[in-house]
Amino acid sequence: MPVPLLSLAVQEGISKIPYAWTVLRIVPWVLLVGVVKWYFGGASNGSERVLHSKVVMVTGGTSGIGAAVVQQLASRGAQVILLTKQSPSDIFLVEYIDDLRRITGNQLIYAEQVDLTSLHSVRTFATKWIDNVPPRRLDTIILCGGTAEPARAHGQTEDGIDREWQVNYLANYHLLSILSPALRVQPAHRDTRVIFATCSSYIGAQFELDNVKRGVGMAIPPKPGQPKNKNNSNKRPKGIYALSKLALMIFAQSFQRHLNSYERPDKLPPCTRVLIVDPGQTRTPGMRRWLTGGSLWGLVLYLLTWPVWWLFLKSPHQGAQSILYAAMEERYQRGNGGWLIKECREVDCARSDVRDDALGKRLWEFSEKQIEETEKEGAVKRALEKKEAEQKAETQTRKETASAKAQTTGSRRSRKNK
């Protein structure tokens, strides 16, 4: 077919071929769209590592990039433990895991409840994990859970901490601080990795920890008798998402130093390496929520401009490539860790303070203190709630006994004589 068409074009001119000029006008545009789409799609993971018998723990594995990572890991035979906000008995989660098992042909996919907005939930899971005797196998931890909130949805967690700060950074710090012994006891020959998902917004972040102190960003309640004053609010500082990602990267370096400083009883070098991954801009539910500003009009606008997002943003599968590369690439079995991976290759960090030891120590101490204070308050609150619930239950039982007595007619003697 193309040969007769070509010879016709050469012999009698292009205009003799029906629709030739139309096609010639469209083709360069189609090619341009193809090239742009290919360019923004980013690099692909070329590592073909088989992951049978590896145990991988993943946060954020139920949506977006994390879900694509989990699917690939499970397809390669890894045992996957999803750390999810929901309880493992949640009907949607049960269905999600059933589907994953069916699609990947891997039955070794489980869920454990870890709500990143609750430090207590993180501690409950992590202490349960490290209390296990003998220590459980753990090959990789992938920290993909995160939130980027549109301005109108900014809020605080049940612990009274900025949600973006806690979900993106503090909960990861808490989880890894508790799980650190579980990583250190892995046999020296094991290739153990901790992978942090970051974002290029860290480059513009201001390292201002006062902005994420507890209570910052909370509306100040009006004094009794005073009307609600619009100006009487403690405004939430800007740039918390970027700060949380910068903090995560600084912590990643500190955590590697912390692991390296441990002297193993067998005197062998540490087996855990930390990797930081920037997946690139990706079309995920989180990104959509951020782009739409969490509003209906925003969603309408997003749908109308969808071809633009389709062209310039990666699909979740493409966004997962660098994380899969970090999890599988053989060359990271050795070395000191702390590498930054982007587009399936190692890149230099755009900020030198990410590796600053003193900054790392300051952040570590700040996080430790913030968690300690929050957990103490949380424990008191839980104890009071428990006491209140017990008192309520006692009052209820007393009421029920009294009403049962009241229903029995006559005196005790008359009841005896009956």
Ligand X SMILES: NC(=O)c1ccc[n+]([C@@H]2O[C@H](COP(=O)([O-])OP(=O)(O)OC[C@H]3O[C@@H](n4cnc5c(N)ncnc54)[C@H](OP(=O)(O)O)[C@@H]3O)[C@@H](O)[C@H]2O)c1
> Containing H/E element for 359?
helix 357-407
Does 88 sit near ligand X (CB under 6 A)? no
What φ, ψ does residue 191 adopt, rounded to 5°? -90, 90
Q: Are 140 and 109 in contact (CB under 8 A)?
A: no
3-class DSSP assignment, residue 110: strand
Does 147 sit near ligand X (CB under 6 A)? yes
Q: How far apart are CA 75 and CA 66, in angstroms?
A: 14
The residues, ordered by sequence, that sit 6+ positions from 35 with a Cβ below 8 Å of its Cβ are none
Segment interacting with ligand X, rule: CB under 6 A, options 139-147, 214-222, 356-364, 398-406: 139-147
Nearer to ligand X, 317 or 362 (CB): 317
Write the DSSP symbol of residue 219.
B
The residues, ordered by sequence, that sit 6+ positions from 399 with a Cβ below 8 Å of its Cβ are none
Does 85 sit near ligand X (CB under 6 A)? yes
Q: How far apart are CA 183 and CA 194, in angstroms?
A: 9
Q: Catalytic annotation on 245? A: yes
Does 321 sit near ligand X (CB under 6 A)? no
Segment interacting with ligand X, rule: CB under 6 A, options 143-151, 335-343, 382-390, 400-408: 143-151
Does 186 sit near ligand X (CB under 6 A)? no
Q: How far apart are CA 85 and CA 298, in angstroms?
A: 26
Does 63 sit near ligand X (CB under 6 A)? yes
Does 123 sit near ligand X (CB under 6 A)? no
Does 285 sit near ligand X (CB under 6 A)? yes
Does 338 sit near ligand X (CB under 6 A)? no
- Judged by CB under 6 A, the residue of 55, 58, 64, 73 near ligand X is 64
- Judged by CB under 6 A, the residue of 116, 212, 249, 252 near ligand X is 116
The residues, ordered by sequence, that sit 6+ positions from 147 with a Cβ below 8 Å of its Cβ are 163, 164, 167, 168, 286
- Judged by CB under 6 A, the residue of 286, 337, 360, 378 near ligand X is 286
Q: How many residues bind ligand X (CB under 6 A)?
A: 26
CA atoms within 13 A on the CB side of 78: 27
- Judged by CB under 6 A, the residue of 55, 58, 126, 144 near ligand X is 144
Catalytic residue among 54, 85, 245, 314: 245
Question: Which residue type, as a one-letter code, is found at position 198?
Answer: T
Does 42 sit near ligand X (CB under 6 A)? no
Would you tell me which residues interact with ligand X (CB under 6 A)?
A: 59-60, 62-66, 84-85, 115-117, 144-147, 167, 197, 199, 279, 281-282, 284-287
Could you give the residue numbers annotated as active site? 245
